[in-house]
Amino acid sequence: MPYAPQQADVATPELDSALRGGPFHVALRAAIAARGLPLQRVQHHLTRYGVKVGVTSLSYWQQGARRPQRPESLRAVRALEEILRLPDESLIRLLAETGEQPAGRRAAARSYRSLVEASGVLRELLAGLDASPDDEPQTLGHYERVRVGARRELAGRESEHIVRAHRDGVDRFVAVHHGDPGCAPERMAVHALENCRTGRVRWHHETGVLVAELLFDTRLRAGETFLFRYAVEDGTAGVAHEYVRGSGSPGGQYALQVRFAAGALPVRCHRFTQQSPAAPRGGRQDLPVSERHRSVHLVEPRVRPGMVGIGWDWE
Protein backbone atom coordinates (compact mmCIF):
# COMPACT_ATOMS: atom_id res chain seq x y z
CA MET A 1 0.00 0.00 0.00
CA PRO A 2 1.45 3.42 -0.89
CA TYR A 3 2.53 5.65 1.92
CA ALA A 4 4.08 9.04 2.42
CA PRO A 5 7.52 9.32 4.00
CA GLN A 6 7.22 9.47 7.77
CA GLN A 7 8.72 12.77 8.79
CA ALA A 8 7.53 15.85 10.59
CA ASP A 9 5.70 18.44 8.56
CA VAL A 10 7.93 21.37 7.69
CA ALA A 11 6.22 24.67 6.92
CA THR A 12 8.13 27.65 5.59
CA PRO A 13 6.92 31.12 4.62
CA GLU A 14 8.16 30.47 1.07
CA LEU A 15 6.16 27.24 0.81
CA ASP A 16 3.01 28.79 2.29
CA SER A 17 3.27 31.72 -0.12
CA ALA A 18 3.89 29.46 -3.11
CA LEU A 19 0.94 27.22 -2.30
CA ARG A 20 -1.33 30.26 -2.04
CA GLY A 21 -0.21 32.14 -5.11
CA GLY A 22 1.77 29.72 -7.26
CA PRO A 23 2.84 29.19 -9.89
CA PHE A 24 2.91 25.38 -9.88
CA HIS A 25 6.64 24.88 -10.46
CA VAL A 26 7.59 27.30 -7.66
CA ALA A 27 5.24 25.55 -5.22
CA LEU A 28 6.56 22.11 -6.18
CA ARG A 29 10.18 23.24 -5.82
CA ALA A 30 9.48 24.83 -2.43
CA ALA A 31 7.67 21.71 -1.18
CA ILE A 32 10.50 19.38 -2.20
CA ALA A 33 13.05 21.70 -0.59
CA ALA A 34 10.99 21.96 2.61
CA ARG A 35 10.85 18.17 2.93
CA GLY A 36 14.56 17.81 2.22
CA LEU A 37 14.04 15.07 -0.36
CA PRO A 38 16.40 14.63 -3.32
CA LEU A 39 14.62 13.97 -6.60
CA GLN A 40 15.79 10.36 -6.63
CA ARG A 41 13.93 9.77 -3.35
CA VAL A 42 10.84 11.52 -4.68
CA GLN A 43 10.93 9.23 -7.70
CA HIS A 44 11.32 6.20 -5.42
CA HIS A 45 8.25 7.17 -3.39
CA LEU A 46 6.24 7.70 -6.60
CA THR A 47 6.95 4.12 -7.67
CA ARG A 48 5.26 2.96 -4.44
CA TYR A 49 2.13 4.68 -5.75
CA GLY A 50 2.45 2.81 -9.03
CA VAL A 51 3.47 5.96 -10.90
CA LYS A 52 6.54 6.06 -13.13
CA VAL A 53 8.12 9.49 -13.56
CA GLY A 54 11.75 10.11 -14.46
CA VAL A 55 14.07 12.29 -12.42
CA THR A 56 14.55 14.47 -15.49
CA SER A 57 10.79 15.08 -15.74
CA LEU A 58 10.61 15.98 -12.05
CA SER A 59 13.48 18.41 -12.55
CA TYR A 60 11.74 20.01 -15.54
CA TRP A 61 8.49 20.31 -13.56
CA GLN A 62 10.11 22.17 -10.67
CA GLN A 63 12.04 24.45 -13.05
CA GLY A 64 8.95 25.42 -15.04
CA ALA A 65 10.47 24.03 -18.24
CA ARG A 66 7.56 21.58 -18.63
CA ARG A 67 4.12 21.13 -17.07
CA PRO A 68 2.42 17.83 -16.15
CA GLN A 69 -0.43 17.35 -18.62
CA ARG A 70 -0.89 13.66 -19.47
CA PRO A 71 -3.21 11.56 -17.25
CA GLU A 72 -0.23 9.62 -15.87
CA SER A 73 1.52 12.88 -15.02
CA LEU A 74 -1.57 14.22 -13.24
CA ARG A 75 -1.70 10.99 -11.20
CA ALA A 76 1.89 11.72 -10.21
CA VAL A 77 0.96 15.24 -9.08
CA ARG A 78 -1.78 13.90 -6.82
CA ALA A 79 0.68 11.38 -5.40
CA LEU A 80 3.20 14.17 -4.82
CA GLU A 81 0.64 15.99 -2.67
CA GLU A 82 0.60 12.98 -0.34
CA ILE A 83 4.34 12.29 -0.48
CA LEU A 84 5.17 15.93 0.28
CA ARG A 85 2.35 16.15 2.87
CA LEU A 86 0.56 18.99 1.13
CA PRO A 87 -3.14 19.89 1.34
CA ASP A 88 -5.36 17.95 -1.06
CA GLU A 89 -5.68 19.54 -4.51
CA SER A 90 -3.07 22.20 -3.68
CA LEU A 91 -0.78 21.38 -6.61
CA ILE A 92 -3.58 20.31 -8.95
CA ARG A 93 -5.31 23.64 -8.33
CA LEU A 94 -2.17 25.56 -9.27
CA LEU A 95 -1.85 23.54 -12.46
CA ALA A 96 -5.40 24.48 -13.41
CA GLU A 97 -4.81 28.15 -12.59
CA THR A 98 -1.70 28.37 -14.78
CA GLY A 99 -3.51 27.03 -17.83
CA GLU A 100 -5.73 29.10 -20.11
CA GLN A 101 -7.29 31.90 -18.06
CA PRO A 102 -9.60 34.83 -18.63
CA ALA A 103 -7.72 38.06 -19.23
CA GLY A 104 -8.43 39.45 -15.77
CA ARG A 105 -7.04 36.52 -13.78
CA ARG A 106 -3.47 36.22 -12.61
CA ALA A 107 -1.02 34.75 -15.06
CA ALA A 108 1.89 32.62 -13.94
CA ALA A 109 5.16 34.33 -13.16
CA ARG A 110 7.89 33.95 -15.74
CA SER A 111 9.20 30.41 -15.74
CA TYR A 112 12.69 29.51 -14.58
CA ARG A 113 13.61 28.60 -18.16
CA SER A 114 12.45 31.93 -19.58
CA LEU A 115 14.45 33.85 -16.97
CA VAL A 116 17.57 31.79 -17.64
CA GLU A 117 17.17 32.28 -21.39
CA ALA A 118 16.76 36.03 -20.85
CA SER A 119 19.92 36.17 -18.72
CA GLY A 120 21.87 34.43 -21.49
CA VAL A 121 20.51 36.85 -24.08
CA LEU A 122 21.36 39.78 -21.80
CA ARG A 123 24.99 38.69 -21.61
CA GLU A 124 25.15 38.57 -25.41
CA LEU A 125 23.51 42.00 -25.81
CA LEU A 126 25.86 43.54 -23.25
CA ALA A 127 28.84 41.98 -24.99
CA GLY A 128 27.63 43.59 -28.23
CA LEU A 129 27.92 46.96 -26.47
CA ASP A 130 31.33 46.07 -25.00
CA ALA A 131 29.72 46.28 -21.57
CA SER A 132 29.65 44.06 -18.51
CA PRO A 133 28.09 44.39 -15.05
CA ASP A 134 31.57 45.15 -13.66
CA ASP A 135 31.70 48.32 -15.77
CA GLU A 136 28.57 49.82 -14.20
CA PRO A 137 28.91 52.65 -11.69
CA GLN A 138 27.69 51.93 -8.18
CA THR A 139 24.01 52.77 -7.68
CA LEU A 140 23.42 54.96 -4.63
CA GLY A 141 19.72 55.49 -5.34
CA HIS A 142 17.22 54.28 -7.92
CA TYR A 143 13.69 55.67 -8.10
CA GLU A 144 11.43 53.95 -10.61
CA ARG A 145 7.92 54.89 -11.72
CA VAL A 146 5.93 52.32 -13.70
CA ARG A 147 2.75 53.13 -15.62
CA VAL A 148 0.01 50.57 -16.28
CA GLY A 149 -2.30 51.66 -19.09
CA ALA A 150 -6.03 51.53 -19.70
CA ARG A 151 -5.67 48.09 -21.33
CA ARG A 152 -3.94 46.94 -18.12
CA GLU A 153 -0.68 46.71 -20.05
CA LEU A 154 2.79 47.80 -18.97
CA ALA A 155 2.70 51.18 -20.70
CA GLY A 156 6.16 52.32 -19.70
CA ARG A 157 8.50 53.30 -16.91
CA GLU A 158 10.73 56.17 -15.85
CA SER A 159 13.95 55.71 -13.88
CA GLU A 160 16.05 58.21 -11.96
CA HIS A 161 19.52 57.04 -10.89
CA ILE A 162 22.13 58.44 -8.56
CA VAL A 163 25.43 56.67 -9.24
CA ARG A 164 29.05 56.86 -8.13
CA ALA A 165 32.01 55.96 -10.32
CA HIS A 166 34.22 53.21 -8.90
CA ARG A 167 37.06 54.06 -11.30
CA ASP A 168 38.20 56.89 -13.54
CA GLY A 169 36.64 57.19 -16.98
CA VAL A 170 33.03 56.06 -16.39
CA ASP A 171 30.95 57.82 -19.04
CA ARG A 172 27.79 55.77 -19.55
CA PHE A 173 25.14 53.54 -18.03
CA VAL A 174 23.54 50.58 -19.81
CA ALA A 175 19.83 50.34 -19.01
CA VAL A 176 18.02 47.00 -19.20
CA HIS A 177 14.30 46.55 -19.83
CA HIS A 178 12.59 43.12 -19.78
CA GLY A 179 9.13 43.39 -21.28
CA ASP A 180 6.18 41.18 -20.46
CA PRO A 181 5.58 37.94 -22.41
CA GLY A 182 4.43 38.71 -25.95
CA CYS A 183 6.01 42.17 -26.04
CA ALA A 184 7.73 43.65 -29.09
CA PRO A 185 10.98 45.34 -27.99
CA GLU A 186 11.59 46.62 -31.52
CA ARG A 187 8.53 48.87 -31.06
CA MET A 188 9.66 50.27 -27.71
CA ALA A 189 11.30 53.67 -27.37
CA VAL A 190 14.03 54.87 -25.00
CA HIS A 191 14.06 58.56 -24.03
CA ALA A 192 16.93 60.35 -22.29
CA LEU A 193 15.26 62.85 -19.96
CA GLU A 194 17.98 64.47 -17.87
CA ASN A 195 21.80 64.67 -17.86
CA CYS A 196 22.25 61.96 -20.51
CA ARG A 197 21.55 61.10 -24.13
CA THR A 198 20.57 57.85 -25.79
CA GLY A 199 23.32 55.85 -27.49
CA ARG A 200 23.06 52.40 -29.03
CA VAL A 201 19.90 50.35 -28.43
CA ARG A 202 19.76 46.58 -28.91
CA TRP A 203 16.97 44.06 -28.33
CA HIS A 204 16.02 40.39 -28.60
CA HIS A 205 12.46 39.76 -29.76
CA GLU A 206 11.92 36.24 -28.41
CA THR A 207 12.83 37.07 -24.81
CA GLY A 208 11.63 40.68 -24.80
CA VAL A 209 14.97 42.00 -23.52
CA LEU A 210 16.11 45.50 -24.51
CA VAL A 211 19.36 47.25 -23.58
CA ALA A 212 20.20 50.90 -24.17
CA GLU A 213 23.28 53.05 -23.67
CA LEU A 214 22.77 56.26 -21.74
CA LEU A 215 25.76 58.51 -22.44
CA PHE A 216 26.84 61.07 -19.83
CA ASP A 217 28.95 63.24 -22.19
CA THR A 218 31.46 63.54 -19.37
CA ARG A 219 34.03 61.21 -17.87
CA LEU A 220 33.59 60.68 -14.15
CA ARG A 221 36.55 60.36 -11.84
CA ALA A 222 36.65 57.63 -9.20
CA GLY A 223 34.32 58.54 -6.34
CA GLU A 224 32.45 61.20 -8.33
CA THR A 225 28.64 61.04 -8.31
CA PHE A 226 26.19 61.63 -11.14
CA LEU A 227 22.40 61.91 -11.47
CA PHE A 228 20.46 61.07 -14.64
CA ARG A 229 16.95 60.16 -15.72
CA TYR A 230 15.50 58.20 -18.63
CA ALA A 231 12.26 56.50 -19.71
CA VAL A 232 11.20 53.43 -21.67
CA GLU A 233 7.91 53.49 -23.58
CA ASP A 234 6.53 49.95 -23.87
CA GLY A 235 2.80 49.21 -24.22
CA THR A 236 3.45 46.31 -26.61
CA ALA A 237 2.30 43.30 -24.54
CA GLY A 238 -0.97 42.11 -23.02
CA VAL A 239 -2.33 42.35 -19.49
CA ALA A 240 0.38 42.97 -16.88
CA HIS A 241 0.28 41.32 -13.46
CA GLU A 242 3.59 42.36 -11.90
CA TYR A 243 6.75 44.39 -12.23
CA VAL A 244 10.10 42.96 -11.15
CA ARG A 245 13.47 44.66 -10.68
CA GLY A 246 16.60 42.52 -10.51
CA SER A 247 20.04 43.41 -9.19
CA GLY A 248 23.28 41.47 -9.44
CA SER A 249 25.10 43.36 -6.70
CA PRO A 250 24.34 45.28 -3.49
CA GLY A 251 23.26 48.89 -3.90
CA GLY A 252 21.65 51.86 -2.25
CA GLN A 253 18.00 52.76 -1.83
CA TYR A 254 15.43 51.55 -4.34
CA ALA A 255 11.88 52.88 -4.57
CA LEU A 256 9.27 51.49 -6.96
CA GLN A 257 5.91 53.10 -7.67
CA VAL A 258 3.28 51.57 -9.94
CA ARG A 259 0.55 53.94 -11.14
CA PHE A 260 -2.60 52.60 -12.78
CA ALA A 261 -4.73 54.28 -15.43
CA ALA A 262 -8.19 55.53 -14.51
CA GLY A 263 -10.64 52.64 -14.63
CA ALA A 264 -7.84 50.08 -14.38
CA LEU A 265 -7.33 49.77 -10.64
CA PRO A 266 -6.47 46.27 -9.32
CA VAL A 267 -8.36 44.74 -6.41
CA ARG A 268 -5.20 43.98 -4.40
CA CYS A 269 -1.42 44.40 -4.56
CA HIS A 270 1.53 42.79 -2.83
CA ARG A 271 5.31 42.96 -2.76
CA PHE A 272 7.62 39.97 -3.09
CA THR A 273 11.29 39.06 -3.24
CA GLN A 274 13.21 36.28 -4.97
CA GLN A 275 16.88 35.49 -4.43
CA SER A 276 17.39 33.97 -7.88
CA PRO A 277 15.34 32.64 -10.83
CA ALA A 278 15.61 29.13 -9.35
CA ALA A 279 14.55 30.16 -5.84
CA PRO A 280 10.97 30.29 -4.56
CA ARG A 281 9.43 33.67 -3.99
CA GLY A 282 9.24 34.99 -0.46
CA GLY A 283 8.84 38.21 1.47
CA ARG A 284 5.22 38.51 0.39
CA GLN A 285 3.45 41.45 1.97
CA ASP A 286 0.15 43.08 1.08
CA LEU A 287 0.45 46.69 -0.08
CA PRO A 288 -2.28 49.33 0.23
CA VAL A 289 -3.50 50.83 -3.03
CA SER A 290 -4.21 54.56 -3.04
CA GLU A 291 -7.52 54.93 -4.87
CA ARG A 292 -7.11 58.69 -4.99
CA HIS A 293 -3.68 58.53 -6.61
CA ARG A 294 -4.23 55.11 -8.28
CA SER A 295 -0.79 53.98 -7.15
CA VAL A 296 1.12 51.57 -4.95
CA HIS A 297 4.78 51.63 -3.93
CA LEU A 298 7.58 49.94 -2.05
CA VAL A 299 10.91 51.16 -0.68
CA GLU A 300 14.04 49.06 -0.15
CA PRO A 301 16.52 50.96 2.08
CA ARG A 302 19.41 48.89 0.72
CA VAL A 303 19.26 46.69 -2.36
CA ARG A 304 20.50 43.12 -2.08
CA PRO A 305 21.39 40.81 -4.99
CA GLY A 306 18.23 39.19 -6.32
CA MET A 307 14.81 40.43 -7.33
CA VAL A 308 12.10 42.54 -5.74
CA GLY A 309 8.76 43.47 -7.23
CA ILE A 310 5.11 44.35 -6.94
CA GLY A 311 2.34 42.03 -8.11
CA TRP A 312 -1.37 42.76 -8.43
CA ASP A 313 -4.68 40.98 -9.03
CA TRP A 314 -7.42 42.22 -11.34
CA GLU A 315 -11.11 41.59 -10.75
Asked whether the beta carbons of 211 and 199 are under 8 A apart, the reply is no
Closest CA to 176 of 144, 218, 216, 147: 144
Of the pLDDT bands very low, low, confident and very high (cuts 50, 70, 90), residue 94 is: confident
* pLDDT tens readout for residues 186-222: 999 999 999 999 999 999 998 899 999 999 999 999 9
End-to-end Cα distance, the chain: 44
Judged against a pLDDT cut of 50, whether residue 7 lies above it is answered with: no
Task: For residues 181 and 66, state if they share a domain.
Answer: no
Q: To the nearest whole percent, how much of the chain has pLDDT over 90?
A: 55
Indicate the number of domains in the chain: 2
Judged against a pLDDT cut of 90, whether residue 154 lies above it is answered with: yes
Domain ends where: 66, 97, 128?
97
Write down the mean pLDDT value for the chain. Answer: 86
- Which range (73-77, 108-112, 117-121, 238-242) has the least confidence? 108-112
Task: For residues 69 and 125, state if they share a domain.
Answer: no
Of the pLDDT bands very low, low, confident and very high (cuts 50, 70, 90), residue 111 is: low
Sign of CA dihedral 99, 103, 104, 109: positive
Q: Residue 93 burial (CB < 10 Å; 0-12/13-18/19+)?
A: middle
Task: For residues 27 and 155, state if they share a domain.
Answer: no
Gap between the Cα atoms of 210 and 47, Å rounded = 46
Task: For residues 135 and 275, state if they share a domain.
Answer: yes
Gap between the Cα atoms of 227 and 167, Å rounded = 17
Judged against a pLDDT cut of 80, whether residue 104 lies above it is answered with: no
pLDDT of residue 118: 73
Of the pLDDT bands very low, low, confident and very high (cuts 50, 70, 90), residue 116 is: low
Gap between the Cα atoms of 68 and 59, Å rounded = 12
Task: For residues 122 and 80, state if they share a domain.
Answer: no
Task: For residues 92 and 25, state if they share a domain.
Answer: yes
pLDDT of residue 1: 45
Task: For residues 189 and 298, state if they share a domain.
Answer: yes
Domain holding 65, by residue range, is 13-97
Asked whether the beta carbons of 174 and 230 are under 8 A apart, the reply is no
pLDDT of residue 110: 60
Judged against a pLDDT cut of 90, whether residue 142 lies above it is answered with: yes
In a domain, 186, yes or no: yes
> 39-48 and 55-63 are packed helices; what angle lies between their axes, rounded to 10 degrees?
120
CATH number at residue 257: 2.60.40
**Average pLDDT estimate for 240-244:** 95
Q: Residue 69 burial (CB < 10 Å; 0-12/13-18/19+)?
A: exposed
In a domain, 290, yes or no: yes
pTM to 2 decimals?
Answer: 0.66
Task: For residues 63 and 128, state if they share a domain.
Answer: no
pLDDT of residue 42: 93
Task: For residues 269 and 120, state if they share a domain.
Answer: yes
